Structure 1
Amino acid sequence: MKLTFLGAAGEVTGSQHLLETSEARILLDCGLFQGREDECRQRNELFRCLPRKLDAVVLSHAHIDHCGNLPGLWKAGFRGPIACTAPTADIAAIMLRDSARVQEEDAAYEQRKRYRSRDHVPGPLYTEDDARHVAKLFEPQPMHDWQDIVPGVRLRFLHAGHILGAAISELELQDQGQIRRVVFTGDLGRRHQPVLMDPETIERCDVLICESTYANRQHPDTSNVSAELQRIICRAAEVRGRVIIPAFSLGRTQMLAYLLNELRNRDQLCRVPVFIDSPLVTRLTDVHRLHTADMDSDVQTSLQQDDDVFSFPGLTYVRTQDESMALNRTPGPMVIIAAGGMCENGRIVHHLKHALDDERNTVMIIGFQAEHTLGRRLVERRPEVSIFGRRIPLRARVEVVNGLSAHADADDFRWWFGALQRRGGTGETYIVHGEAEAARALADIAADCSDEPPVIPQYGQSFVIE
């Protein structure tokens, strides 16, 4: 068996790993590589996995860095099945169409901007038609049941606890008369997160491919988030200010809606109107409503008294641009949750432009803010920030509320690998989807569980599994 790492190897983007046996060629994930524009284009257009010769794709979950280049794979000739969970199939279909739409709009804008210079403008990597075509290849699989996906390959999914539908992939592959057991974690989540099932543990395998995003750090306790939401929103109500919350469309926003709903059901939430401002979020939340059976026991308990855990009186899902613009002309206290997790694009930027210079308002940051982003400058509490070319004084309060990270931390990894060690460990371990320091930290955690020293592969490296 041969294993080749074609993305998220020595980096945290573009997940893509190729398994080749005497019987089949299987691609684990097909994510978009994200980074510098020129490098991204080259990496995303080049498929070293030979798409026309692939037998199947196994998709761990629907984040764009794991599924985002599937339409490009289809465009390059792939026509096999894409095995994933049912929630992943529904979410990925939406995410891929949205990704294609953004690419098409960006390409059209660049074309208009460069029209007179006659410079060559590359088109989108793929179109909405490509996204619709590849979505027809999704073959949803149930959790926990072994399924034959192609001759010589069996697959079983376990809960990964990362986002709705995220799965650990267990594969049994026939190779020259032997059965080899390969496990791919995708992205592991945290224990005791709102909404999501906890990540499940596995039994001994021959090969383990494991992510390492936050293996070198510890996250704050999730249990404090509801109390912080309550405190921040009630203060805003007292001073008749706004709470602006930048959030990613998939995962974080649904968790926030659920937590706010729980506070409202316990009569612990101040009576302030809440607006979730993103058409994409609205569609993704509808998918969450279809798959509540895949959520944790707390959600199941809530559903016995509440038929919609993502909504409550006073919460409005905003769809149109006109409705979004009207929020900035509406007086009084309110909460606005808008797409654009790092405040670099999307409707959140407009809400920040109208809110930052008023000391009654609060910006609530709930996720990591990368260097050089507007979100990072807010976290640093710069005296003023630039939005749409205007310098705006930062008079609003900035509250950083951690605890909603969707990735396993060092404690979660120690728990997960401890369970694996008790169940026999693994023959070989390959550590992916992490920066160098995080990958080395996970290698230390995994060492006692692996027969061979854990390997941190780099992009393009191949390994023959004897």
Structure 2
Amino acid sequence: MKLTFLGAAGEVTGSQHLIETSSRRLLLDCGFFQGPRAESRRKNERLLCEPKQLDGVILSHAHIDHCGNLPRLYRLGFRGPIFCTEATADVAELMLLDSAKIQEEDANYLSRKLRGNHPPIEPLYTAEDVRELLKLFEPCPFGEWHDVGHRNELRLRFSPAGHILGSAITEIDINDAGERKRIVFTGDVGRRNMPLLNDPAIITDGADVVICESTYGNRLHGSSQDMKALLLKTLLEAEARSGRVIIPAFALGRTQQVTYFLNDLFNSGLLPPIPIFVDSPLATRVTQLFLRHQLELDADLQEVVKHDPDPFGFHNLTYVANQQESMELNRRTGSFVVVSASGMCESGRVVHHLRHAVSDPRNTILLMGYQAPHTLGRQLAERHSTVRIYNQDYPLQAQVLQLDGLSAHADVTDLKWWFEESTRHGHFGKAFLVHGEPDAAQALATTIRDYVDEEPIVPKFGESFEI
């Protein structure tokens, strides 16, 4: 049996890992590389696995860096099943249709920029590719073994990962020519005691191989409750300065956490009377999925909805309905808050809001999580003297705050806890650490070496291992 790392190896994007047995080829995730436009397109248009030879995909969750290249996989000939949780299937539909729209817009933009007799740029995939791909999804409930193939050859089971709605830790039992192996793929591991989501499940039956993320393998996060206090403090200070607050937030997960906190502050009478806008059509649709799948959310949310049927909405919160309303926000005066995608400030309506906000010292940009290298979000986090937006340089004079308390990724203490608690019940053999920058992955390898039988491995891109 062979394991090859085709993405998120030595970096935090483009999750994709290939399992090959004597009779099957399975892909764990098929994510987009996210970064500068030209580099991203070059990496995403070339798949290193052969789509037509794949027997299936196991999808950990519906973030674009984990699912975003599935439609291209389909476009290039893949027709196998895609296994995921029910909520992940619903969320992936929204995320991938939105991604297809971006691919088509980007292709049109690049085609217009070409000179001479160059052929037009094709999108990496289209909305039609997404709609056909969705027919391949096979949703599986949490906690139940799902048989794949014949003669007990392969089965899988999903458990909550606590990362985003629907996210799963996957246990895979494989019978390869009479030799049975168990592989655990964490996808992205969430944090304990976070709003909305249940804690990550521990593994009680051990595993021969663990493939684990390491995004924050060398970092500690602040408390999510501290984040609520800091959010309130930021809004009060902005109101005093008559400034606006721009919160670039991922449409999936982070926006719902922010609005959930704001709803709690409103109900507690602490929130200042400052207009708040969620300006992301995708975030609005994702929020409806949170309500649809609320029985998968944590006990605190279940209590809240007993007396508040909309935990993501309140009197002075407005979900922006259309592009015209979005444009009008930038003509407003006085204090207000805009929560808008994308979280790394690379695309979407938030880029327009940042363009109008970055050069005014009364304003605040509130970054809510990890910012990948070379993105506008990373430039803001590093407080460059100028930032480039739509090919124009703007002086960065607004305040920039980066709050990691709402990070959806486990930090080093959460990951150590997960390995420690899981290995109380059964041993882990090999561990491969992915989805982390090199320093973070190496630090986590040192942290967990006492919980696995062999020295943890940080694989390089394209590297293969016999297991």
Q: TM-score, normalised by structure 1?
A: 0.93
CA contact (8 A) 1:144 1:158 kept: yes
Query: Secondary structure of the residue that 2:423 maps to in structure 1?
Result: helix
User: Hey, what does 2:195 align to over in structure 1?
Assistant: 194
Q: Distance in 2 between matches of 1:257 and 1:207?
A: 38
Amino acid at match of 1:6: L
Contact 1:188 1:211 in 2 (8 A): yes
Question: What is the aligned length?
Answer: 464
Contact 1:365/1:398 (8 A) holds in 2: yes
- Relative to structure 2, which stretch is displaced further, 429-438 or 376-385? 376-385
SS at match of 1:245: strand
Does residue 265 of the first structure (1) align with residue 267 of the second (2)?
A: yes
Q: CA deviation at 1:357?
A: 4.3
Residues 262, 343 of structure 1: alpha-carbon distance in 2 compared, 3 angstrom cutoff: same
Give the equivalent residue in structure 2 for 1:51. 51
CA displacement at 1:21 relative to structure 2: 2.4
CA deviations on 1:96-146 (whole Å, 9 max, x unpaired) are 1111111111111221222x4222443111111111111111111111111
Matches within 5 A, 1:179-258: 179-203=180-204, 204-258=206-260
Structure 1 distance, partners of 2:146, 2:370, is 37
Q: Quick one: which of 257, 277, 280 aligns to 1:278?
A: 280
The alpha carbon displacement at 1:437 in A equals 1.4
1:456 alignment counterpart: 458
* Contact in 2 for aligned 1:83/1:149 (Cα 8 Å): no
CA distance in 2, matches of 1:393, 1:322: 27
Letter paired with 2:275: P
Partners of 2:39 and 2:313 in 1: CA distance = 41
Deviation at 1:65, TM superposition (A): 1.2
Aligned in 2, Cα 1:6/1:153: closer, same or farther, shift over 3 Å?
same
Contact 1:2 1:464 in 2 (8 A): yes
Q: Which runs of 5+ in 1 are unaligned?
A: none
What is the CA distance between 1:382 and its match in structure 2? 5.3
Aligned to 1:131, what secondary structure does the other structure show?
helix
Instruction: Give the 5 Å matches for 1:60-79.
Output: 60-79=60-79
Contact 2:209-2:431 within 8 A present in 1 as well:
yes
CA contact under 8 A between 1:359 and 1:397: conserved in structure 2?
yes
TM-score normalized by structure 2?
A: 0.93
Shift of 1:200: 1.0
With over 3 angstroms needed to count, the CA separation of the structure-2 counterparts of 1:371 and 1:28, relative to structure 1, is: closer
- Distance change >3 Å, CA 174–CA 394, structure 1 → 2: closer
CA distance in 1, matches of 2:276, 2:97: 27
Alignment partner of 1:130 is 2:129: yes
Q: CA deviation at 1:64?
A: 1.1
Contact 1:362 1:397 in 2 (8 A): yes
- When structure 1 is superposed on structure 2, of 341-350 and 443-452 the one drifting more is 341-350
Distance 1:376 1:236 in 2: 23
For 1:256, the aligned partner's letter is V
* 1:315 counterpart residue number: 317
Q: How does 1:118-157 map to 2 (within 5 A)?
A: 118-151=117-150, 152-157=153-158
Does the CA contact (< 8 Å) of 1:160 and 1:199 recur in 2?
Answer: yes
How far does residue 403 in structure 1 lie from its aligned partner after superposition?
Answer: 0.7
Which runs of 5 or more structure 2 residues have no equivalent in the other structure? none
- Where 2:26 maps in the other structure, the secondary structure is strand
- Distance in 2 between the 1:132 and 1:342 partners? 27
Deviations 1:36-59 (A, max 9, x none): 656544543333432222222110
> Which region of structure 1 is more displaced relative to structure 2, 75-84 or 453-462?
453-462
> What corresponds to 1:437 in structure 2?
439
Counterpart of 1:184, as a letter, is F
**Alignment map for 1:26-105 (pairs within 5 Å):** 26-35=26-35, 40-105=40-105
Deviates more, 1:333-342 or 1:185-194: 333-342
Give CA-to-partner distance per residue, 1:371-394, whole Å, 9 cap, x none.
554444444555655544655555
* Residues 191 and 80 of structure 1, relative CA distance in 2, 3 Å threshold: same
Q: For residues 62-107 of structure 1, what are the alpha-carbon distances to aligned partners after superposition, in whole Å with 9 as ceiling and x for unaligned?
A: 1111111111111122111111011110111111111111111111
Distance 2:369 2:412 in 1: 18
Q: What secondary structure is seen at the aligned counterpart in 1 of 2:356? A: helix
In 1, Cα distance between equivalents of 2:364 and 2:439? 34
Whether the 8 Å CA contact 1:417–1:445 is kept in 2: the answer is: no
Pick the aligned partner of 1:404 from 383, 394, 406.
406
Helix, strand or coil: the match of 1:428?
strand
Name the residue aligned to 1:413: 415
Aligned partner of residue 422 in structure 1, secondary structure: coil
More displaced 10-residue stretch of structure 1: 350-359 or 430-439: 350-359
Distance 1:45 1:394 in 2: 34
Among all aligned residue pairs of Structure 1 and Structure 2, give the percentage whose two residues are the same amino acid: 54
Partners of 1:413 and 1:445 within 8 A in 2:
no
Name the SS for the 2:234 alignment partner: helix
CA contact (8 A) 2:266 2:314 kept: yes
User: Could you list the per-position Cα deviations for residues 389-411 of structure 1 after superposition, in whole angstroms to 9, with x for gaps in the alignment?
Assistant: 65555554333333111111111
| Aligned-residue offset at 1:368 | 3.1
Higher deviation after alignment, 182-191 or 367-376: 367-376
The C-alpha deviation readout for 1:309-342, integer Å capped at 9, x for no partner, is 1111111111311001111223332211111323
For residue 23 of structure 1, report the CA deviation from its aligned partner.
4.2
CA spacing shift, 1:255–1:140, aligned 2, 3 Å: same
Give the whole-Å Cα distance in 1 for the aligned partners of 2:391 and 2:112.
Answer: 21
